[in-house]
Each structure stands twice: as C-alpha cells, then as structure tokens.
Structure 1
Amino acid sequence: MSKPYPIGEANQPWQAQHKQQWLAQQQIKRSYLDDVVTQIQQLSDSFSIIEYGVLEYSHHTYPLFAIKTKNWQEHKPTILVTGGVHGYETSGVHGALAFARNDAQQYETHFNIIVLPCISPWGYETINRWNPDAIDPNRLFYKNSPANESRFAMDFMQAYNHNILCHVDLHETTDTDNSEFRPALAARDGVQNHNWNIPDGFYLVGHTQKPQPDFQEAIITNVAKVTQIAPADNEGKLIGVPLEQFGVINYDGTALGLCMGMTDAPYVTTTEVYPDGLCASAQNCIDGQVAAVKGALEYLIKHNAQ
C-alpha cells in the first residue's frame, strides 16, 4: 500500500537520531494564531476564555485555551468537547469552534460546557498526528503523561472531573493516514502495518467500558442528516475493528490512553470524519462534527441523563 518509509531501518525501532531527522523535515504550513486563537478571542464576550497551559517547542510558543460557559452553575452536569488532539484533523478543531460559536449557549439551560478546541497546536500548524517528540498525544492521556498536550488538558480538567456527564472528542480519518501516518508509525516502532482501511464517511468510536449504544445511535442519526455514515468493509469492520452497530466501533479508551478516556464521564464518544471522500467538503465535515455534539446533547436532554 505504501513505499518504505524514508527514515530508519526496516523492522528496527527509531533511535533518537531518527526522531530528530523526522522533526527536521516538519514545516509550518498554517497558523494556529490566525486560524484558531483569533476565533477563540472573538468569543470572549460570551464565554470565559482560560489559558490552561503553554507549549514551548523550538522557538514556537503555543498558548492553550479552554472556552467555558459563563453562566456556570455547580449543580449542572458538565459537557466536555475536545478537538485537535491530532492537529492535522482540521474539522475537529473547527467543528469545536463552530459549536462554541453557534450552539453552545443554547444548551446552558441544561449544562455547563467546556470546549478545548485545539489540544495540539504544533500538530495543527505542521499538519501532523504527532507532537515534536514523535509521540501521539492520543495514546498518552494518563497520569504523568510524557505528552505535554495530554498532560495540560488532563490537569486542567481535573477540577471538573467530579461532574462531567459527557465528553465528545472530535477527530478525522484522512487519506494521509495511509500515505504518511500509518507508515511513519510502523517505521518508528519497527513493525509492519497491516491495516489500510479508511472508512468512506463518518463513524464513531465508543468506549468498551461504557458503550452506551442508544447514545451512539442518536449521534449517528443526527449526523446522517448532514453527511454520509461510513459503511463497514467486507469483513464487517471499520479500521480493522468489528462493527458494534451501524457506524460505531468500540475501543477501550482508558486502557489505550485515548482522549475520550481522560475523564469519568459516563457518556463518551470519539467522532471520525472522512474529509477526502467524493461527497465531502470542508464545511460538511465541520457540520458533521457539530451535528455529533448536538446529537449527543439532545439525547442527554431527552433522556434526562444524570
């Protein structure tokens, strides 16, 4: 499916010099300040904007921001929306921002809401899955994480973890998974990649410890109004994982150190949008992300979830 990765030796994990070689090849391709921070700042009249950490990477400084509803009431359950854990997954970042800008306030009657729109800003700027240390923040959401992106987010959310009802984590699966990120991962770890499946459309990853199938179904139903839901492959799988229900697979998010496992929320899901599909556009990918968050919240309201 791909050419041998140009860094490292076949079947041998990368050493420090290989990671440095990889880092030297990365280039800034877009602006976190222009694309993301300016949008966050524009929300300051309607939300509390909190700087929860600063990433320092080779002459680049990235402040990290949380968007928090102003009408905060301790008795209400909290909703967490995260985007940009993988910085290259564009609609996750801009879907989180669109939800905050256009929709979050209408749910303040029922919930407190926190949005972390871009957890990995260096990844956003370089269009990367990893951080500069060649590690994946979305496998490192655990105590004393070696990824500052993950650790800062977890440390910030610790104060709210007692009352989080729902966490929706916004992601994409793109053609570059096969052309770049899966080959790079295999090369870094000295293994062979055997999964080349990229689902054609939107799907969800639920948590095996708290799968909530009705909740996942409600999200899929709402997203289907705006974008295509990915069918399973010929083996009844998505990305090599058996289908649980239409458009849904499950991972153990806690054991794997995924962002969706970072809190004790009983309702969690990870979205996956496919921006490279023939029927996809940047806007309907963002619309799909927003529809996922709204579908989740409408389900919780309808069922009076606590």
Structure 2
Amino acid sequence: MTVPDPRLSINQATIKHSDLATALRVTADAGVQAIGLWREPVQEVGLANAAKLLTDSGLRFTTHCRAGFFTMPEGPARRASIDDNRVAIEEAATLAAAGAEGSTAILVLVAGGLPEGSRDLLGARERVRDAIGELAPDAAAAGVTLAIEPLHPMYASDRCVVSTLGQALDIAADFDPAVVGATVDTFHIWWDPDVLAQIARAGREGRIATYQVCDWKTPLPADVLLSRHYPGDGVIDLATLTAAVEATGYGRDIEVEIFNEDIWADAAPDVVRRTAETFGQAVSPSLRAPLDSRV
C-alpha cells in the first residue's frame, strides 16, 4: 500500500458522491492528512456539524470550494451573490478553525461567465474586481484568503471570464496578498505559453493561495467540465509546473481535484488510494519542501 505524500490533500470533488462524513473517513483511513471541502456537502449537514466532523477526523482543512459567480450587472441577483459569498467566507473561517494544525482559511472563487446576452468580457472582469473589492474587508476580518481561480478559456462564456493566471493576478494586485490571492490549478493553466512566468510572478507577489493538480487528456467528453484525470494519466507536464510552484517557496498542501464520471463511479476508498499513488508518482518527485517547512 502506498504511503500518501504528507502534502497531499484530497479535494472533495474527487470523491463527489460521498457525503461529508464518508469523505472525511475514507480520506483519513487512507492515511491522507488533508482535505478540501465543498459548500454543498457542508450545508447539507450544517456548518456546526461539519466543523465537528472535521475536527473529529483529525484532517487539515485546505480550501473551501467554491464561491464567486458575480459577473452580472448590479441588481438583485448580484446582491444575492455578494451576500452568499459573505456566507462562504464565514464557512471557510469556521472550517479552518476546526481543522487540524496547519489548516488554511482559503475560499476558492470562480468568477462566473458572461451574463446572458453579453459579449463584454472586459466589463465582466471589472465586475469581478468590484465584487472582490466589496468582499475583501469581510475576508480580512475573518482571516480568509480569497483565491481567484482562472479557468481554461473553454469555460469563459458560461463559467469563468478569468482565463489566465495573469488575469487573476491583475485583479488581485489591487488587494493585500493575505486577503486576495490566486488558485494555481494545472488543469486550467497548463496550456498558457506564459504560465511559468506568471507562476514566478505569483510567487514574487505572494499570491499563490493554493496549488491544485490533476491531468488533461483528449478526447474530451461531451461535458467538458468532467474531463479531469488522475495525475500522470494525461499530457500536463506536472513535473515542470510543480517545480515552478515550489521554486516560489510554496510549501503547503497540494490538492488533487478531479471531475470525472468514470472516477466518481468507483468506490471512494479506491479513488483515494489511486489518487495517492498517482500523486506519489507524478507530483511528489518534484517537491522539495517537507511538511514541517510549509509556508
């Protein structure tokens, strides 16, 4: 049996069909030390119960997924989205306090796509900046870092108008790095010819809030959202990207986040075991910072 890398975190999306208690149990039983949670399973049991389950599991908490979706023009829908993001900030702070030592209060933000009938990408990105400006004081007060996640350009119309790490960093630049950073996710940024320079920039600016890994291979399924694979099973140069992130001084946990119907159909303990194996093969050799030097 593979002994999991101590820096591996299982993002709950990887075992999507497991409820919160099951996700925590199978992760801990596999010897994995950390987990990233999703809002829906937390809300199913209630925040207080979720926090207790997390504490009892002994796992570190790495990220809370996901908030954002605030590209719409001003109006009731935008106000409702901003208010929901404030709830998510509270959730992230509570769960980070409930997790084991080394937990991080990081809320992943997915910007949202173009509003219906719009072609104004620049305007939509500016509304993302404005929304984060509203939320930054709440995040700072709660000790939460808002982690802007750029998504692959194929999602720009319906899911995320922030498509590159550089765009995420440009938005984050207006704010304290402790309050607004970026999510570096290999699936979304591996294609970018400027990716290594932007990872180095993110490191210089202190903006790498979390590092997430999985792999990409073609053909893509009809639902391209479900096209993620185990590390090492596709074409992403995980060694180079991981080494670049490590070179910035990042030494915290690394999440594996997979959306894939075939993987979800497998038993959760098998998925966690396979995740640990593939992480150990494809990611661990590029890590230079042991657990006790996390920054």
Please indicate the TM-score interval, normalised by the length of the shorter structure: 0.3 to 0.5
Give the TM-score normalised by structure 2: 0.32
Of Structure 1 and Structure 2, the greater helix share is in: 2
TM-score normalised according to structure 1 size: 0.31
When Rg is computed on C-alpha atoms for both structures, the one with the higher figure is: 1
Name the structure where strand makes up a greater proportion of residues: 1
